[in-house]
Amino acid sequence: MNSILLPLTQAAAVPSSRTWFDNPAIQNKLGYALVETLAMTFVSGALTIVFGLLLGLALVTTGQRGQRPNPSLYWVLSQIVNIGRSMPFIILMVALIPLTRLLVGTSLGWQAACVPLTIGAIPFYARLVETAINDVDRGKVEAALMMGASDRQITWGVLVREALPILIQSGTVTIITLLGYSAMAGAVGGGGLGDLAITYGHNSNMVDVVVITVVIIAVIVGIIQLIGDMLSRLVNHR
């Protein structure tokens, strides 16, 4: 009788199913996928903010209220921004494969994903920059002109400085959007948390991988938003 009960007792002591963090996909793949996602988001985010700011300033400068109005050039730049903003990211990523291979040498991996992420987000941020700078009180610009300020001083010392809190908030929104796009990039070989969720969570029916991935992305979004809000308040001189 004891010989029968002993195996049953031992069997009851064995867990009937693995716990979430015992999943090899989470133990071995999650850390690297997280690093890839952060790299994609912040590398493309930095490039987007630099080039998007310059493109947005070009739109402001050549617009009707700019220092150097140029309707033809403004129309061309505006159409480029509109087309870039209207392009679905998955389609853009596929269309840019030749350019990505030219710049990075491959169309796979987080480095390759940075190319379409950046190109897709620049028009989005540029339009936000244009809106933010056009909301700056024109009286401050006129006062700077009366004091003999140059175009460069007006652009950076007045317009950008006064719009800086909104520009930071817009940059925060853009980086969070890039985080979402980086997850989509995983569907076509971009790596990161999106690739982990699709490959192991969806294709292998591992619900725990999907849940943990979603929670991590939500936490990252919260941290980015918190930092953006703090920086915006810090530079707000109003």
Q: What is the DSSP letter of 235?
A: T
DSSP H or E run through 204? none
> Tell me: the pLDDT tens digits for 122-165?
999 999 999 999 888 777 777 877 777 777 878 788 888 888 99
Alpha-carbon distance of 208 to 229, in angstroms, equals 32
Separation in Å, CA 13 to CA 18, 23, 26, 28, 133: 13, 19, 24, 26, 66
Q: What is the predicted pLDDT for the residue at 203? A: 67
Residue pair 133/56 in contact (Cβ under 8 Å)? The answer is yes
Residue 122: which of 176, 80, 93, 157 has the closest Cα? 80
> Tell me: the pLDDT tens digits for 4-50?
444 433 433 333 345 556 666 677 777 888 898 899 999 999 999 99
Residue pair 129/169 in contact (Cβ under 8 Å)? The answer is no
Separation in Å, CA 154 to CA 49, 54, 60, 169, 173: 20, 15, 12, 22, 26
> Tell me: the pLDDT tens digits for 96-114?
888 888 888 877 888 888 8
- φ/ψ of 39, rounded to 5, equals -65, -45
Q: What is the predicted pLDDT for the residue at 6? A: 41
> Tell me: the pLDDT tens digits for 157-182?
888 888 899 999 999 999 999 998 88
Helix (H, G, I), strand (E, B) or coil at 237: coil
